Chains A and B, each alone.
Chain A
Amino acid sequence: AQSVSQHNHHVILSEAASLELGCNYSYGGTVNLFWYVQYPGQHLQLLLKYFSGDPLVKGIKGFEAEFIKSKFSFNLRKPSVQWSDTAEYFCAVKGSNTGNQFYFGTGTSLTVIP
């Protein structure tokens, strides 16, 4: 079945540690990839997106993600996390064979300890 997988469900890091959150998808065809962040009690906000071109995309707040087509992956990274990065992170896919629909992974809860 087509899906978006985020294997890290809960991640706890100390401030200044490096972050990498995994995202794998199983949709065929051309895909557009997104990472969204949801701060406690808030709505989802776009962190970054990939449509084409350079597979390494940079987003807001120092986040970046790398699209590796051969691995069907779009992992999110940040070299040094801050306490304010504590949030839920969602990977999403919109593909040529998903119509207008966006499909989300199950989310990764990140807690950054000061």
Chain B
Amino acid sequence: NAGVTQTPKFRILKIGQSMTLQCTQDMNHNYMYWYRQDPGMGLKLIYYSVGAGITDKGEVPNGYNVSRSTTEDFPLRLELAAPSQTSVYFCASSLRDHTGELFFGEGSRLTVL
């Protein structure tokens, strides 16, 4: 099993551009999450999904959108990129909420100039 796969690993965007970070998991997990990690700030939840067709906002959703059309995929879209969105983005999944073990992807490092 590949686990949680994220693409791209690195990307540089200009202010105002848009892009999609891809996330795929092959563990048939129901729950999927997007986090951003900034130096000294820990991980913050952007969006999460409890199953196909269901998404909900986390702590820092502004400037982002998600969709969950299949169990496997949970893309994160950045509209009108801003320098404040420069960060490392992690996708994660778990079989169950609350008691489930979290599995993370390798991360996508995004720089907005």
Q: Do A and B actually bind? A: no
